[in-house]
Amino acid sequence: MVARAQQCDRGANAFCAIEAVIVDPHYESSGALVAGEHRRLRELGWSAMAGDNGTESASDSPGNKLRVTYATAANDLAGIDLGWIKRPRSIELTLAGVMFNRAPAMSVMLEDGSG
């Protein structure tokens, strides 16, 4: 993990989320890293779900206590640029940096689930 931030929304549907940028040079690409994350979550019994937009993936933990949303660094940066999603500035800058360095990287957001 190269960056971590906590972001809270105190509105009507209050929640806090932990956001992170993960880099793993053992993968050949960011897409392979995201696919590996998806496989590992399935192995652990998490249910695959749709992300908040078309470029994200998501999974709910057994019992729906946690939800993780994840995407390649490039896809999250595109979502930020298009106004689809918001990320803390430290996460945005880290995503841009890992893209510049061509590192296999993904953005992850962990939050309370629906159950």
Residues 61-105 have pLDDT tens digits of 999 999 999 999 999 999 999 988 888 899 999 999 998 889 999
Q: Are 87 and 107 contacting, i.e. CB atoms less than 8 angstroms apart?
A: yes
Q: Give me Rg for the CA atoms of the chain.
A: 14
pLDDT at 115: 47
Residue 30 is assigned to a structural domain of this protein? yes
Neighbours of 71 (CB within 10 A): 25
Q: Using pLDDT thresholds of 50, 70 and 90, give the confidence band for residue 14.
A: low
When pLDDT is averaged across residues 30-49 and rounded to a whole number, the result is 95
Q: Which amino acid belongs to residue 80?
A: I
pTM of structure: 0.84
Q: Which amino acid belongs to residue 99?
A: M
Q: Are 108 and 33 contacting, i.e. CB atoms less than 8 angstroms apart?
A: no
For the chain, the domain total comes to 1
Residue 6 is assigned to a structural domain of this protein? no
pLDDT at 85: 87
Residue 5 is assigned to a structural domain of this protein? no
Residue 10 is assigned to a structural domain of this protein? no
Q: How far apart are CA 20 and CA 42, in angstroms?
A: 20
Domain that holds residue 53: 18-112
Q: Are 69 and 36 contacting, i.e. CB atoms less than 8 angstroms apart?
A: no
Rounded-to-5 percentages of helix, strand, coil across the chain: 35, 35, 35
Residue 39 is assigned to a structural domain of this protein? yes
Residue 5 has pLDDT above 80, yes or no: no
Residue 103 is assigned to a structural domain of this protein? yes
Helix (H) or strand (E) holding 97, with range, is: helix 89-100
Residue 91 is assigned to a structural domain of this protein? yes
Residue 50 is assigned to a structural domain of this protein? yes
